[in-house]
Structure 1
Amino acid sequence: MFSLLNLFRVIAVLEGISYILLLFIAVPIKYFGDEEQYVKLLGMPHGLLFVAYIILAFILGSRLKWPTKTLLYVLVASIIPFGTFYVDKVYLKKIS
């Protein structure tokens, strides 16, 4: 069974992948190829994963008693491309 930490790690990786696909593939296709379908296709799953990431970050941060600075880094990483992968490597692998 998944622990909260493992669930957060999976969500973080999926959120990071969906963000990269949306930002570097779907958006350029939308503006350079005039095809909006890819943004629509990837936008909703990314949005759900983003919300799940934020909620789980607050829950996990509370349970693990992260300092405010650590929680802030984890939250900001969700809006930076490849940021969730950094969080997984630096913050989450230490815990598991």
Structure 2
Amino acid sequence: MDLKTASAIRRLRLVSVPEGISWIILAACTIIKYTVASGFDVAPVLGPIHGVLFVLYVIFWADAWNRTKWDTKTGLLYFAYSIIPGGGFVAERRLRREAEDAVIAARARNEGVVNA
């Protein structure tokens, strides 16, 4: 994995958790607004914050997909994580695991270990 690919994955990892948190908070506040407290409206504040995080996620996702050459299923799965509440946490975990596997593979290649 080259440096630009690793950077693209890292950027996607860094934005996935805040995007997931903002999605959950916005959904919870919307539920509270319509069920418990009708005067409780934080959407004018949280909506734009979540919107910016979502747009950043999509931009970083597209860059990561372009650089990593994921197949269509994997690329669309990472996009779906941005739509599912809490999916950002799953995306971060999978991306971290993918990056760690790439580091292990690179070290094995450098040490001359051949896949059996």
Under a length normalisation based on structure 1, what TM-score does the superposition of the two structures give? Answer: 0.86
| 8 A Cα contact 1:30 1:39, kept in partner | no
Q: Say which SS state the counterpart of residue 78 (structure 1) adopts.
A: helix
The number of aligned residues is 93
Name the % identity.
38
What CA distance in whole angstroms lies between the structure 2 residues aligned with 1:89 and 1:33? 35
In structure 2, give the amino acid aligned to 1:76.
Answer: A
Larger radius of gyration: 2
Match of residue 84 from structure 2: 80
Matched, 1:65 2:69: yes
Separation (CA, whole Å) in 2 of partners of 1:65 and 1:94: 17
Give the counterpart letter for 1:30 in structure 2.
Answer: K
TM-score by length of 2: 0.73
Taking the aligned partners of 2:13 and 2:39, their CA distance within structure 1 comes to 32
Runs of 4+ in 1 over 4 A off after TM superposition: none
Name the residue aligned to 1:5. Answer: 9
Give ranges in structure 2 of 5+ residues lacking alignment: 1-6, 100-116
Gaps of 5+ in 1: none
Alpha-carbon distance, 1:36 to partner: 5.0
**By how many angstroms is 1:87 displaced?**
1.4
Q: CA RMSD in A?
A: 1.6
Which amino acid in structure 2 is aligned with residue 55 of structure 1? I
